[in-house]
Structure 1
């Protein structure tokens, strides 16, 4: 597969129309159609369900679209890194979950952007699985992993601030009258928790056998969406402190007791050399640790 053809394919998917994609690519529609048909023939698959107005991806098409984005992204990043070794420029790619505890990292990045105007930043929000995958395939320079994780295959440094767990709840809920939440307080309540924390089982040591009486009704990836459900009064959500601004809302945050925290670790691949800009970032972050 040629990278050029993969870029054609991505453009068609995003435009959902071969004619529009051809105009954006500055090539003729027959040429673009022929390139796509050649790609399908070489792969032995059908990429599109072709309609009168728009085209839709087949299952194989969706798979190639995701991989094509990774491949072209890696090519672009490689070219940028190679061209920027003598000056401090290029793109810094960092993957992380959401937390106010990563503010020191953002402060360092902010200072670099001010000092070196040629630097670009790409922030990728996602869970640990996504971060590990992109670190391994080279599309991320660094990842920030929260909670207990096995980091033997990665270089890592611990960040100073920790995440504090608690519940997000409506102010008019009886449990909101408590300053801190014990395991007994959550028995029987409908609870949302993050998909990542559910996998790590971070609350079992805190709640002990009482966790078997917890009513976990679902999971969320983004707390903003979970917050909308909590506002209905249908449930409470386990989340980090200060993850969203609830000032002036009907919501309250109450920390767990005994306190439950997660460590934040900046990690990077042991088997990949850091780019110029990535090394400068790491040096600056280490200086302020």
Structure 2
């Protein structure tokens, strides 16, 4: 498979139409159609369901699209970093979830971008499994991992910051009068759990014997969307203290758990991989900021 042909394939998948894709790529439609037919013959699969005025992806096409997107992104990133190898420039890509520790990361990156305008930053947001996937396939230089997740396969740094788990609720909720929330306080209540907490069974372990006494209505991975359910009095939400930006008048309040539960924050990267100059600079400054504390 040639990169040029993969780029053709992605363009057709995005447009859903051979004619529009050909115009976008500045190539004749017959030539483009022939390239895709050759690709299908090479792979031994059909990539598109062909209708009169529309092309849709087959399951094989959907898989190739996800892989081709990653391959083309990694190729562009590699080319950018090699082109900028004589000076500090190129792309710095960080995959991360929401966390207080990101402020330290952003402070360092802000300094680098100010000093080296040729640096381009790419922030990829998602939970720990998403960040780890981006790191493993090479489309991210660093991943920010929140929680006590094994990182033995990677090089890592632990940030000084820690996030604290708690419950978000409306100010008129009976529990809003308490200073902390204990497991027995949640008996009979509906709970919206963090996707990461649910995957790692963090909150369920904290509940202990009371786990079956609460109603888990689902999970979320974007804090804002979960907050809307809390505002509607649909559920209480398990979240981390430093992810909240409660606006004045929102009538929401956050209460920490008792016993308390904290989440460590780690910056991880692949072992025995030659980092780009900008990634090396970022890592150097991150270490300096941590060891200075």
Q: Which of the five TM-score ranges fits, normalised by the shorter chain?
A: over 0.9
C-alpha distance after superposition, 1:184-208 (max 9, x if no partner): 1112211111221112122345333
Query: Is 2:99–2:146's contact at 8 Å kept on the other side of the alignment?
Result: no
Counterpart position of 1:257: 258
By how many angstroms is 1:51 displaced? 2.6
Q: Secondary structure at the match of 2:49?
A: strand
Counterpart position of 1:131: 131
Counterpart position of 1:172: 172
Counterpart position of 2:241: 241
278-287 vs 199-208, greater mean Cα deviation? 199-208
Counterpart position of 2:151: 151
Find the aligned partners of 1:250 and 1:14 in 2 and give their Cα distance: 43
175-184 vs 157-166, greater mean Cα deviation? 175-184
C-alpha distance after superposition, 1:229-285 (max 9, x if no partner): 222211111011131322131322222122211000000000311111100000111
Find the aligned partners of 1:251 and 1:38 in 2 and give their Cα distance: 59
Counterpart position of 1:2: 2
Q: TM-score, normalised by structure 2?
A: 0.94
Counterpart position of 1:230: 230
Find the aligned partners of 1:88 and 1:19 in 2 and give their Cα distance: 41
Query: Is 1:184–1:210's contact at 8 Å kept on the other side of the alignment?
Result: yes
Counterpart position of 1:22: 22
Does residue 279 of the first structure (1) align with residue 280 of the second (2)? yes
Give the unaligned 5+ runs of structure 1: none
Find the aligned partners of 1:174 and 1:199 in 2 and give their Cα distance: 29
Query: Is 1:127–1:196's contact at 8 Å kept on the other side of the alignment?
Result: yes
Counterpart position of 2:32: 32
CA RMSD of aligned residues (A): 1.5
Counterpart position of 1:220: 220
Query: Is 2:163–2:242's contact at 8 Å kept on the other side of the alignment?
Result: no
By how many angstroms is 1:212 displaced? 3.2
Find the aligned partners of 1:236 and 1:17 in 2 and give their Cα distance: 46
Counterpart position of 1:112: 112
By how many angstroms is 1:97 displaced? 0.7
Does residue 268 of the first structure (1) align with residue 269 of the second (2)? yes
Query: Is 1:84–1:90's contact at 8 Å kept on the other side of the alignment?
Result: yes
By how many angstroms is 1:52 displaced? 3.2
204-213 vs 181-190, greater mean Cα deviation? 204-213
Between the two proteins, the alignment pairs up a number of residues equal to 289
Query: Is 1:192–1:218's contact at 8 Å kept on the other side of the alignment?
Result: yes
Query: Is 2:100–2:162's contact at 8 Å kept on the other side of the alignment?
Result: no
Query: Is 1:148–1:200's contact at 8 Å kept on the other side of the alignment?
Result: no
C-alpha distance after superposition, 1:113-137 (max 9, x if no partner): 1110000011111222222222222
Find the aligned partners of 1:56 and 1:193 in 2 and give their Cα distance: 36
Find the aligned partners of 1:178 and 1:39 in 2 and give their Cα distance: 64
By how many angstroms is 1:139 displaced? 1.2
Query: Is 2:93–2:124's contact at 8 Å kept on the other side of the alignment?
Result: yes
Query: Is 2:143–2:267's contact at 8 Å kept on the other side of the alignment?
Result: yes
Counterpart position of 2:198: 198
Does residue 43 of the first structure (1) align with residue 51 of the second (2)? no
Give the unaligned 5+ runs of structure 2: none
Q: Secondary structure at the match of 2:202?
A: coil
109-118 vs 41-50, greater mean Cα deviation? 41-50
265-274 vs 172-181, greater mean Cα deviation? 172-181
